[in-house]
Amino acid sequence: MSSSFKEEPKLTIAMPKGRIFEEAVGFLQQAGLNVTAELKDSRKLIIPVEGTNLQFILAKPTDVPTYVEYGVADVGVVGKDVLLEEERDVYELLDLRIGYCRMMVAGLPGWKPTEAPRVASKYPRIASRYFRQQGQQVEVIKLNGSVELAPMIGLADRIVDIVSTGQTLRENGLVELEHICDITTRLIANRASYRMKSEAVDDVAQKFLQVIPKR
Ligand code: PRP
């Protein structure tokens, strides 16, 4: 039997595990995507959405732009912090206006400039760029987490990190010193997918657009 029916291309959406996952999943649900318990509860990393041409892949947040740049995911949900740090060649489609936090310089109260300033961060590129723009020479030390430890134990005099509720800083006796930028969650797309699978990408973007919180 011949058929003129054109099969829709499969669309792969990369989702970040970690900080923004819960809020992002809530967002997908609101947008009417059929998010099953599998996405939230299982250890599976590839999750097809039954009855649709969609599948999710679950990735470490910092890897989401990598999957999207290389086209193994067509679109991805990712924090602007990760985009600014990873500098991947992806197309930023939408500001989803969720996952609000701020990129800050923080340190011990009463912090004074030292001769050989050291800054610890999970975001070495953002930190280096910021201090270069400020005309300050600093040594940036890359850490992978628990960055707030660094000033407390004398590894660095300041940190660059995201602050959301401020609880982590408070509980570790640190204060916000300088505001670098605000951060929200974004929808990104692979450049080729955006052209070749424009209908499917648009469809997802439109669904998201409907539920983006108003300012
Ligand atoms: C982030 C960030 C801070 C904390 C800020 O860490 O690096 O440590 O959240 O949130 P708050 O202002 O609401 O306290 P994350 O939870 O991603 O863990 P990590 O330190 O292991 O990277």
- Which tens digits make up the pLDDT trace of 54-67? 999 999 999 999 99
How many angstroms separate the CA atoms of 100 and 79, rounded? 9
Residues with CB under 6 Å of ligand 1 are 19, 122, 145-148, 161-168
Q: Give the pLDDT confidence of 135-159 residue by residue, as tens digits.
A: 999 999 999 999 999 999 999 999 9
CA–centroid distance for 82 within its chain: 5
Q: How many Å lie between the centroid of ligand 1 and the Cα of residue 104?
A: 12
Q: For the chain, which domains are there?
A: 4-99+184-211 (3.40.190.10), 101-182 (3.40.190.10)
Torsional sign, CA 120, 126, 129, 133: negative
Q: How many Å lie between the centroid of ligand 1 and the Cα of residue 194?
A: 32
User: For residue 147, which atom of ligand 1 is closest to its CA?
Assistant: 20
CA torsion 119-125-126-129 (nearest 10°) is 90
Give me the mean pLDDT over the 166-194 stretch.
97
Q: How many Å lie between the centroid of ligand 1 and the Cα of residue 14?
A: 21
Amino acid 75 reads V
How many angstroms separate the CA atoms of 73 and 54, rounded? 11
In this model, does residue 91 exceed pLDDT 70?
yes
Strand-pair category, 175-183 with 101-107: antiparallel
Predicted confidence band of residue 42 (pLDDT cuts 50, 70, 90): confident
Q: Ligand 1 pocket test: pick from 17, 85, 164 the residue with the most ligand atoms within 8 Å of its Cβ.
A: 164
Predicted confidence band of residue 44 (pLDDT cuts 50, 70, 90): confident
Predicted confidence at residue 2, as pLDDT, reads 44
Mean pLDDT of the chain: 92
Predicted confidence at residue 7, as pLDDT, reads 62
CA–centroid distance for 68 within its chain: 12
The upper half-sphere exposure of residue 49, i.e. CA atoms within 13 Å in the direction of its Cβ, equals 17
Predicted confidence at residue 183, as pLDDT, reads 98
pTM comes to 0.92
Q: Give the pLDDT confidence of 153-179 residue by residue, as tens digits.
A: 999 999 999 999 999 999 999 999 999
List of residues 6+ apart from 73 with CB closer than 8 A: 12, 13, 14, 57, 59, 64, 67, 190
Q: Whose CA is nearest to atom 16 of ligand 1?
A: 19
User: H or E stretch including 85?
Assistant: helix 80-86
Predicted confidence at residue 176, as pLDDT, reads 98
Question: Which three-class secondary structure state does DSSP give residue 13?
Answer: strand
In this model, does residue 1 exceed pLDDT 50?
no
Q: Are 203 and 119 in contact (CB under 8 A)?
A: no
